[in-house]
Chains A and B, each alone.
Chain A
Amino acid sequence: MSRPVPQEHVIVIGCGAVGRQVIVELRRLGTRVIAVDHDPDRLALAAATCPDDAELTVLDADAFDPGTLARAHLQRARALVSTLQATRDNLFVCVMARHAHPDIPLVARVALPADAAKFRAVRVTTVEPADLGGTTLARVMSNPELAHFATAVIASTDLPEQLRVIPIVRGAPAAGRRLGQADLQRASGCVILGVRRGARGPFRYNPPASTKLPPGGALVALGSEDQLAKLVSLVGYPA
């Protein structure tokens, strides 16, 4: 996201193997995290993933206790991720959070494909570890470069390049012009992979030079931190 590091935190429920990875990734993305678990050992492991990190708070509490979400400041949170093992536990946490806060984005881990529908009913995005692992194994087998590219640009810590979605703001220097005219690639050094009209909807991949940069739409670009910052200055702020 193009916004500066958000001040709102993400609540992570459960600090098992998956939960700890969520914490690591969120901290890498610069998001403040409150991690909740009732097992002090697991909390210690979670705290050890990001030592001396003031932005990571661990909360020793029972996730099924209605007071816990309030203690984790659900009302001011940016999102909640439930990483418990059992479907019923995750569903319980998600429904409770949905009741307390009707608009907050919720993400949950589910074990079986059949369970995803139950979560959709309370507007929860679901992630299935088995599905993700299985599909990735297949991709790594049949198309390793593509699989590596997709995971590297999203989830790697050691690459300077990043893939980012950048909204096009009305009145920005490049907004409304054609891709070929604005020559963003040369001006910023980023590769433009896709363009989207409007705030939602599908991206148009590998856009031709004649594509207009629609104000209110967005770009997907690949580049280093500096290059992306340059690109944001061209499309992300009104001149």
Chain B
Amino acid sequence: MSTRSRSSFADSFRLGSSLASVASAAERRQRYVRLVRASILFFVVLAIGAYGFWTLTGHQHTALQCLYMTVVTISTVGFTEVIPVDTDALKVFTMGTILFGGASIAYFLTSIAAVIVEGDLVYRFWQRRLLNRVAAQREHVLVCGLGLTGRRTFSALHHARVPVVGLDVRPERVETLMQSAGSDVLFIVGDCFEEDTLLAAAIGEARGLVAAFPDDRDNLLLCVTARQLNPNLRVVVRLNHKTNAPLFDNVASATVDPATLSGARLANEAVRPDLLAFTDALLTPDTRDLLVDELPVEPHAPLAGATLADAHLVSRTGALVIGHRLGRTGSFTYNPPATLRIEHGATLLVLGDRRALARARRLLRAAPKTWLGRLASRPGRPR
């Protein structure tokens, strides 16, 4: 099924519009109608009351006095009576005013309360705040398509404290996401293939975009659109058919094929579950603070020029070198030989906890020993 086919509700939902269904939109309209009706009734009661006091006292009081008398009466405040209720007709009229007036005030107040409490005003504020928060995002990741896969991506990024904004045209999917990831998530309900939606999600300031639709045509269209809006975006794509991989070569930074992944996973679970347990722990961010990081070797670093064997990184820092590459980009050679010389310009792939990595980074950075020297070598600072 193509995700481009819009849901039946799509037309009633524009950018950042209601999460609720059409039914609740009708209910909301009902509440407004009731509020208007209650306020009209309230003002009619006030007008009749004021007119009644005016005629029954023989036009001897001003309009303001009559209105004041009516308000004091029906609000049951009962200050001093500016118009003495001394005739029988006036007494009957006042009793009627109190009964009708009290009821109309009650109706008026409950209809106001309904608009506020049943979420309308609150919702409007919340919605505007959400859009503003999304628009203010910097260095965030957009997750487009919040199906099963997209929701997992969203949750994993959210869990790793990466700022993330979800986009989907179907409000019910966002609702499902909020049930699992909490209600403080950022999202936009809108069509990802319209540039306005992507711009509202601050794509120009974004760090990356994940295209997680179950159809490669959708993903390709999204990639091309996104790249046009922000050429520096890191785009990661869900690949639904392995054969389509070459199509994404120039438009996406990386592709992930769930079928291949799960095939490999199923096979490894059958014959070597131990190894999966190891890599799972490596990849789970919160089990322990074990990390893999790239450390560039700078010129004049303490360890530059030494061989891996002489550097003794493990005993000095606790960090384990598992990969090496020449230059800043490209793929790593895993398990470099001990005779490898650590030249500046190269990059090491290192495994360790945060502190070990920080120590290792210090040894690979060009950092003179004294603070005076460090000051002098700081770029852009006159001696």
By a beta-carbon cutoff of 8 Å, the part of chain A in contact with chain B is 1, 6, 10, 17-26, 29, 31, 78-81, 83, 105, 107, 109, 111-112, 125, 127-155, 159, 161, 163-165, 180, 185-186, 189-191, 193-194, 202-203, 205-206, 208-209, 218, 220, 222-224, 227
- Contact residues in B for A227 (Cβ distance below 8 Å): 335
Bound CA–CA A155/B285 (angstroms): 21
**Are B210 and A132 neighbours in the complex by a CB distance under 8 Å?**
no
- Contact residues in B for A24 (Cβ distance below 8 Å): 263
The 8 A-B residue pairs with the shortest CB-CB distance, nearest first, are A21-B263, A134-B152, A133-B258, A138-B156, A130-B148, A25-B267, A79-B270, A155-B264
Nearest opposing residue in chain B for A209, CB measure: B315
- Contact residues in B for A208 (Cβ distance below 8 Å): 314, 318
Evaluate whether A222 and B292 lie within 8 angstroms (CB atoms) in the complex, with A25-B264, A130-B149 already known.
no
Question: Any chain A CB within 8 A of the CB of B171?
Answer: no
- Contact residues in B for A25 (Cβ distance below 8 Å): 263-264, 266-268
- Interchain CB contact (< 8 A) of B291 among A19, A146, A202: A146
Bound CA–CA A142/B207 (angstroms): 10
Shortest beta-carbon distance from B252 to chain A in Å = 10
**Are B160 and A138 neighbours in the complex by a CB distance under 8 Å?**
yes
Bound CA–CA A60/B323 (angstroms): 45
Evaluate whether A190 and B149 lie within 8 angstroms (CB atoms) in the complex, with A18-B262, A138-B156, A142-B160 already known.
no
**Are B283 and A17 neighbours in the complex by a CB distance under 8 Å?**
no
Instruction: Identify the interface centre among A138, A154, A165, A208: most chain B CB within 10 Å of its CB.
Output: A138
- Contact residues in A for B269 (Cβ distance below 8 Å): 81, 107, 125, 127
- Contact residues in B for A148 (Cβ distance below 8 Å): 331
- Contact residues in B for A136 (Cβ distance below 8 Å): 256, 258, 261
A-B contact pairs, 13 of them (CB 8 A): A79-B271, A81-B269, A129-B259, A129-B261, A133-B261, A134-B156, A142-B141, A153-B334, A165-B274, A193-B278, A193-B322, A205-B281, A206-B356
Instruction: Identify the interface centre among B264, B283, B321, B352: most chain A CB within 10 Å of its CB.
Output: B264
- Interchain CB contact (< 8 A) of A149 among B160, B275, B276, B322: B322
Q: Which residues 144-186 of B sit at the A interface, judged by CB distance below 8 A?
A: 147-157, 160, 162
- Interchain CB contact (< 8 A) of B337 among A130, A131, A138, A189: A189
**Are A21 and B260 neighbours in the complex by a CB distance under 8 Å?**
yes
Bound CA–CA A115/B256 (angstroms): 24
**Are B290 and A29 neighbours in the complex by a CB distance under 8 Å?**
no
**Are A146 and B282 neighbours in the complex by a CB distance under 8 Å?**
yes
**Are A191 and B264 neighbours in the complex by a CB distance under 8 Å?**
no
By a beta-carbon cutoff of 8 Å, the part of chain B in contact with chain A is 141, 147-157, 160, 162, 208, 210, 212, 234, 236, 238, 241-242, 254, 256-279, 281-283, 288, 290-294, 309, 314-315, 318-323, 331-332, 334-335, 337-338, 349, 351-353, 356
- Contact residues in B for A78 (Cβ distance below 8 Å): 270-271
Bound CA–CA A31/B141 (angstroms): 40
Nearest opposing residue in chain B for A203, CB measure: B278
Instruction: Identify the interface centre among A31, A133, A208, A218: most chain B CB within 10 Å of its CB.
Output: A133
- Contact residues in A for B320 (Cβ distance below 8 Å): 191, 193, 206
Bound CA–CA A194/B156 (angstroms): 25
**Are A142 and B259 neighbours in the complex by a CB distance under 8 Å?**
no
Evaluate whether A22 and B272 lie within 8 angstroms (CB atoms) in the complex, with A138-B152, A208-B318 already known.
no
**Are B262 and A206 neighbours in the complex by a CB distance under 8 Å?**
no
Nearest opposing residue in chain A for B156, CB measure: A138
- Interchain CB contact (< 8 A) of A153 among B266, B279, B338: B279
**Are B162 and A142 neighbours in the complex by a CB distance under 8 Å?**
yes
- Contact residues in A for B349 (Cβ distance below 8 Å): 145, 149
Shortest beta-carbon distance from B9 to chain A in Å = 24
Bound CA–CA A128/B242 (angstroms): 18
**Are A26 and B152 neighbours in the complex by a CB distance under 8 Å?**
no
- Contact residues in A for B281 (Cβ distance below 8 Å): 202-203, 205
**Are A205 and B290 neighbours in the complex by a CB distance under 8 Å?**
yes
**Are B266 and A206 neighbours in the complex by a CB distance under 8 Å?**
no
- Contact residues in B for A205 (Cβ distance below 8 Å): 281-282, 288, 290, 351
- Interchain CB contact (< 8 A) of B271 among A26, A155, A203: A26
Bound CA–CA A222/B281 (angstroms): 16
Shortest beta-carbon distance from A6 to chain B in Å = 8
Shortest beta-carbon distance from B236 to chain A in Å = 5
Bound CA–CA A24/B110 (angstroms): 68
Shortest beta-carbon distance from A199 to chain B in Å = 10
Nearest opposing residue in chain A for B353, CB measure: A206
Beyond A6-B271, A25-B267, A163-B275, list 13 extra A-B contacts (CB 8 Å).
Answer: A21-B263, A29-B271, A105-B270, A107-B266, A133-B258, A137-B153, A140-B236, A153-B334, A161-B335, A164-B275, A202-B277, A203-B277, A206-B353
- Contact residues in A for B321 (Cβ distance below 8 Å): 191
Bound CA–CA A149/B236 (angstroms): 17
Shortest beta-carbon distance from A81 to chain B in Å = 5
- Interchain CB contact (< 8 A) of A134 among B148, B268, B318: B148
Bound CA–CA A78/B272 (angstroms): 11
Shortest beta-carbon distance from B173 to chain A in Å = 13
Bound CA–CA A185/B338 (angstroms): 9
Bound CA–CA A191/B292 (angstroms): 14
Shortest beta-carbon distance from B7 to chain A in Å = 20
Evaluate whether A138 and B153 lie within 8 angstroms (CB atoms) in the complex, with A29-B267, A189-B335 already known.
yes
**Are B268 and A21 neighbours in the complex by a CB distance under 8 Å?**
no
- Contact residues in B for A1 (Cβ distance below 8 Å): 271-272, 274
